[in-house]
Amino acid sequence: MQKVLITGAFGQLGTELQLLADGRSEFIFTDIRAEGPVQALDICDAAAVERFVAENNVGAIVNCAAYTDVNRAESDTALCQAINADGPANLARSARRHGAALVQISTEYVFDGRRRSGGYVETDRRHPLSAYGRSKRDGEDRVRRSGCRGVIIRTSWLYSPFGKNFVKTMLRLGAEKEEIGVVRDQVGSPTYARNLARAILTILPQIGDRRGEIYHFTDGGTCAWSDFAAAIMEEAGLPCRVKPITTAEYPTPAVRPACSVMSKDKIRRDFGITPVPWRDSLKDCLRRL
Residue 124 DSSP label: S
Per the annotation, the verdict on 120 as an active-site residue is: no
Sign, Cα dihedral of 183, 136, 159, 119: positive
Query: What b/e sequence results for 206-231 when a residue is b if at least 16 CB atoms lie within 10 Å of its CB, and e otherwise?
Result: ebeebbbbbbbbbbbebbbbbbbbbb
**Which residue of the set 67, 109, 120, 132 is catalytic?**
132
Sign, Cα dihedral of 283, 284, 285, 288: positive
Tally helices (H) and strands (E) across the chain: 10, 13
What are φ and ψ of residue 274, in 5° steps?
Answer: -110, 120
Q: Which helix H or strand E contains 196, and what residues bound it?
A: helix 193-203
The catalytic residues are: 132
